Chain A
Amino acid sequence: MSALVVARQPTSPAERLKDAAASALIALLLGIPMIGLTTVDQGGALRVATRWPALLAFVAVCFAGRLLLRYASDVLRARRLARETAAEATAGARPAAGGALLTGIGWAALAVALLLPIAFSDNRYVVDTATTVLIYVMLGWGLNVVVGLAGLLDLGYVAFYAVGAYTYGLLSTQLGWGFWQALPVAGAMAAAFGIILGWPTLRLRGDYLAIVTLGFGEIIRVILVNWTELSGGPNGITSIPRPSFFGLPFKPPGDAPTFASFFGLEYSPNQRLIFLYYLILGLALLTNVFVSRMRRLPVGRAWEAMREDEIACKAMGINARNVKLSAFALGAMLGGFAGVFFAARQGFISPESFTFNESAIILAIVVLGGMGSQLGVVLASLVLVLLPELGRDFAEYRMLLFGAAMILIMIWKPGGILAHREPTLRHHRPGGGR
């Protein structure tokens, strides 16, 4: 298809103006029914309200934005052309200086994460928010295996998260299982769901998988809402036991030994919070190490190869379905683990927590962070969790911004902010000749 692309000439100011005017016209047409007009409820009946100033502002922004965009893209293109001609004389591989820097940032982030609860030991809010960030990091890393490494678009990832959470919720409240007993079972359960779903659909094209996972996420939610005997329906499962420190509960001193009394500490409710923080940090780090080791194994390399060219992989004798299925099941299992932690931390779960929005947020984290990049996921989770904390306005516009950001990132930097499309292993050192 790209054979027919003709290099665009730099545009004249008049052309840019015309182009921007066309954008403004489109913006006007888009804006009239949605921004210019709205219906408000007035005494039981609807009434049309107008917002012309907002519409005018929207159109003006589109006009100016388009004008600037065209100007900027022309300037950038001219510069790039100049640079490319200059670079052709001194042709050579670009040094891979970014790698060392990123590794450094990664270790620094780890140090910050380890020290954070010590520095903020009496600030509940900070530790709690950091725990939320880490849950998303873990989910992001799990989904990254599926989307970033294997290139399979999973739009119902939250279903596996829900399976993990409900498995722990049911096992603990019905059978009295502990956190550590339930963790592997819930992970296996989520992986099993991944296999059941992936088996029929993974041999199909990526688009089908996307919509099937979307439907599956919805099925799980509908079942959780309606199967009241099992899941408690819309009310969910309450009083899920919190995890204990190797059998020592986090409670005010009583008859049985507690965490505080065993270590001779003074009891404080923050101890459990900090323990939960380290727990999810440990789980997340384990995930990270596990996934980065998996990437070096033949199966991990097959994931990345499959992402780049499935037909070539099949021709090389790789069993496409099994390779995809392993990525899908592994991602589901990691989601299940995160779900167990979520249930244990909240002590309460309901279908409300597992809507499509949640899937969209996790996908946004992976996409914005850079598909395949572990550090990118951390940065994206930080931004996406902290942004709504900044204020109510941000919280309201959060999903809108996510959606817009997903489109823009795909257009400008399809690999994500920290693109990691480099293969994990290569035969020759980069820049070391071919």
Chain B
Amino acid sequence: MALALQQLINGLTLGAVYGLIAIGYTMVYGIIGMINFAHGDIYMVSAFIAVTVFTLLAGFGISSIPLSLLLVLLVAVLFTSVYGWTVERIAYRPLRGSTRLAPLISAIGMSIFLQNMVQLTQGARVKPIPPVLVGGIDLLTIDGFTVRLAYSQILIVIVTIALMAAFTWLIGSTSFGRQQRSCEQDRTMTALLGINVDRTISLTFMLGAALAAVAGVMVTVYYGVVDFFIGFVAGIKAFTAAVLGGIGSLPGAMLGGLLIGLIEAFWAAYLSAEYKDVATFSILILVLMFRPSGLLGRPEVEKV
């Protein structure tokens, strides 16, 4: 019972992170109908930026936790959005109107490039940082097993909820949100109405990257280690989350993320920790087999 409760907490935390990354996939898919394969690597880049800035701040002697967290978040979001913009500008925009396969391959190329760029410039070894947010609340003890809610977990969940609220407002009630949704429906018509489609798509990539940046910072705070390969598996899992929730749907991405996080946490605790990735991928295949439009998505009709 205590273990289950603990895994529930861990799973929700993990799921919040996957959900944040999954929103990036879902938004980009919604607007250009393609998967951003480099998205996982954008998240990884952000984690590295977080490590650098945390180290830098510690060097300057800034020890206030809220201040340093805020600074790291700001810097990571800023720089990572530029990475998101660049990915779109280089790997997607020149290929708009090309064959189906071409942007997929260029995005894979971008993913390989980013991964190896980080490996070369930042080193292939695991980077540990001293714990940023230590401690937690002991919730209850059953049979000597204490259920613990770490402060970093509280932080992740609060930040995710706040971002989700901000995002729902942004897409639902702002001018940019309307432009974004109209691009999703019909890009040609949107352009005819005088909306800069290229700019909207770029902004969508940047927003996705910004959310991935937040996820990257949160993971750095939570685990305290990063390496250049974390984007690969996190990317696939977040994509699975997006597909499970119904790709193109924002609440779906969050729901999918939470479900994947929970499944992974419980699978690791009760079945086998080694095969937790296999469990996620199997879910992906099963969802695609039986419900390709996901839990909250609309069935897709391909038009000529």
Residues of A within 8 A of B (CB): 1-5, 26, 29-30, 32-35, 37-41, 45-48, 147, 151, 153, 155, 197, 200-201, 204-208, 210-212, 214-216, 218-219, 222-223, 225-226, 307, 311, 356, 360, 363, 367, 371, 396-397, 399-400, 402-407, 410-411, 414
Contact = CB atoms under 8 A, between A and B. Distances in A.
A38 B121 contact: yes
Contacts, number: 185
B265 interface: no
B145 interface: no
B109 A410 contact: yes
A3 B188 contact: yes
Interface of B: 34-35, 37, 45, 48-49, 51-52, 55-56, 59, 75, 79, 82-83, 85-86, 90-91, 94-106, 108-118, 120-123, 125, 127-130, 187-188, 191-192, 232-233, 236, 239-240, 243, 274-275, 277-278, 280-282, 284-285, 288-289, 292, 300, 302, 304
A244 B192 CA distance: 70
B112 A403 contact: yes
A407 B109 contact: yes
A41 B124 CA distance: 12
B272 to A, nearest CB: 8
A219 B277 contact: yes
B130 A45 contact: yes
26 contacts: A2-B97, A34-B118, A38-B123, A39-B51, A39-B52, A39-B127, A41-B125, A46-B127, A155-B108, A207-B34, A211-B35, A215-B240, A215-B284, A218-B233, A219-B282, A223-B278, A225-B274, A363-B108, A367-B105, A367-B109, A400-B112, A403-B114, A405-B109, A407-B106, A411-B95, A411-B106
Given A396-B120, A400-B113, A33 B104 contact: no
Given A29-B79, A34-B118, A48-B55, A406 B130 contact: no
Nearest to A199: B289
B51 A410 contact: no
Contacts of B288: 200-201, 204, 208, 212
Given A205-B300, A399-B112, A400-B120, 20 more contacts: A26-B86, A32-B79, A38-B121, A46-B128, A48-B59, A204-B288, A204-B292, A208-B288, A210-B108, A211-B35, A214-B236, A215-B236, A215-B280, A219-B278, A222-B274, A360-B108, A400-B112, A402-B112, A404-B113, A410-B98
A205 B118 CA distance: 31
Nearest to A203: B292
Most interface-central of A47, A200, A404, A410 (chain B CB within 10 A): A410
Contact of A34 (B109, B121, B277): B121
A212 B284 contact: yes
Contacts of A35: 121
Describe B's contact surface by its main secondary structure. Answer: helix
A406 B108 contact: yes
Contacts of A223: 275, 278
Nearest to B54: A46
The 7 closest A-B pairs by CB, nearest first: A406-B109, A403-B113, A403-B112, A215-B281, A200-B289, A410-B106, A407-B109
Nearest to A41: B125
Given A153-B105, A407-B113, A39 B100 contact: no
B112 A360 contact: yes
B141 to A, nearest CB: 33
A41 B300 CA distance: 50
Most interface-central of B101, B191, B278 (chain A CB within 10 A): B101
A147 B99 CA distance: 13
Contacts of B232: 356
Contacts of A371: 101
A153 B85 CA distance: 25
A1 B188 contact: yes
Contact of B191 (A4, A40, A219): A4
Contacts of A226: 274-275
Contacts of A411: 94-95, 106
Contacts of B97: 1-2, 5
B52 A33 contact: yes
A161 to B, nearest CB: 18
B112 A222 contact: no
A268 B79 CA distance: 60
A3 to B, nearest CB: 7
Given A47-B55, A410-B109, A414-B99, A33 B79 contact: yes
A411 B89 CA distance: 11
A407 to B, nearest CB: 4
Contact of B52 (A48, A214, A396, A410): A48
A203 B59 CA distance: 55
Contact of B106 (A208, A215, A222, A406): A406
Nearest to A211: B239
Contacts of A147: 101
Nearest to B106: A410
Contacts of A207: 34-35, 104
Most interface-central of A2, A3, A151, A219 (chain B CB within 10 A): A219
A414 to B, nearest CB: 5
Nearest to A210: B104
Contact of A311 (B49, B82, B111, B302): B302
A206 B79 contact: no
Contacts of A225: 274
Contacts of A205: 300, 302
Nearest to B53: A33
A212 B52 contact: no
